[in-house]
Amino acid sequence: MDLRARPWRSVLYIPGSRQRAFEKACDLAIDAIIFDLEDAVAPEEKVSARSLLVHALRVTDFGPRARIARINGLDTPWGRDDARAMAGSHADVVLIPKVGCAADVEAVAELVPDIPLWAMIESPRGVLNAAEIAAHPRMQGFVLGTNDLAKDLGARFRADRLPLMTSLQMALLAARAEGLICLDGVYNAFKDDNGHKAECAQGRDLGFDGKTIIHPRQIAVANAAFAPGEDEIDLARRQIEAFEAAQAQGKGVAVVDGKIVENLHIVTARQTLAKAEAIAELTALHAAQEEKLVQEA
Confidence check: pLDDT of 1 > 70? no
Tens digit of pLDDT for each residue in 69-102?
A: 999 999 999 999 999 999 988 999 999 999 999 9
How confident is the model over 45-51, as a mean pLDDT? 97
Lowest mean pLDDT: which of 1-5, 116-120, 132-136, 182-186?
Answer: 1-5
pLDDT of residue 3: 83
Given pLDDT bands bounded at 50, 70 and 90, which one contains residue 295?
Answer: confident
Q: How many CB atoms lie within 10 A of CB 32?
A: 24
Do residues 69 and 57 make contact, with C-beta atoms less than 8 angstroms apart?
A: yes
CA trace torsion 92, 95, 101, 104 (10° rounding): -90
Partnered with residue 142 across adjacent β-strands are: 119, 182
Given pLDDT bands bounded at 50, 70 and 90, which one contains residue 297?
Answer: low
Confidence check: pLDDT of 137 > 90? yes
Tens digit of pLDDT for each residue in 141-167?
A: 999 999 999 999 999 999 999 999 999
Share of the chain above pLDDT 70, in %: 99
* Interior angle at CA 31, CA 43 and CA 38, nearest 5: 10
Do residues 81 and 105 make contact, with C-beta atoms less than 8 angstroms apart?
A: no
> What span, in angstroms and rounded, lies between the C-alpha atoms of 97 and 120?
5
Share of the chain above pLDDT 90, in %: 93
List the chain domain ranges: 10-225, 230-296
> What span, in angstroms and rounded, lies between the C-alpha atoms of 129 and 256?
41
Do residues 123 and 142 make contact, with C-beta atoms less than 8 angstroms apart?
A: no
- Let me know if domain 10-225 sits in CATH 1.10.3720.10: no
Q: How many CB atoms lie within 10 A of CB 46?
A: 20
Given pLDDT bands bounded at 50, 70 and 90, which one contains residue 65?
Answer: very high
> What span, in angstroms and rounded, lies between the C-alpha atoms of 153 and 255?
46
Confidence check: pLDDT of 288 > 90? no
pLDDT of residue 212: 98
> What span, in angstroms and rounded, lies between the C-alpha atoms of 144 and 229?
25
Confidence check: pLDDT of 291 > 80? no
Do residues 152 and 120 make contact, with C-beta atoms less than 8 angstroms apart?
A: no
pLDDT of residue 286: 85
How confident is the model over 27-32, as a mean pLDDT? 95
Given pLDDT bands bounded at 50, 70 and 90, which one contains residue 287?
Answer: confident
> What span, in angstroms and rounded, lies between the C-alpha atoms of 247 and 40?
55
What is the reported pTM? 0.94
Q: What is the 3-state secondary structure (H, E, C) of the chain?
A: CCCCCCCCCEEEEEECCCHHHHHHHCCCCCCEEEEECCCCCCHHHHHHHHHHHHHHHHHCCCCCCEEEEECCCCCCCCHHHHHHHHCCCCCCEEEECCCCCHHHHHHHHHHCCCCCEEEEECCHHHHHCHHHHHCCCCEEEEEECHHHHHHHHCCCCCCCCHHHHHHHHHHHHHHHHCCCEEEECCCCCCCCHHHHHHHHHHHHHHCCCEEEECCHHHHHHHHHHCCCCHHHHHHHHHHHHHHHHHHHCCCCCEEECCEEECHHHHHHHHHHHHHHHHHHHHHHHHHHHHHHHHHHC
- Report the DSSP pairing between strands 32-36 and 10-15: parallel
Tens digit of pLDDT for each residue in 32-44?
A: 999 999 999 999 9
How confident is the model over 225-233, as a mean pLDDT? 97
How confident is the model over 235-246, as a mean pLDDT? 96
pLDDT of residue 244: 95
Lowest mean pLDDT: which of 1-5, 31-35, 266-270?
Answer: 1-5
pLDDT of residue 135: 98
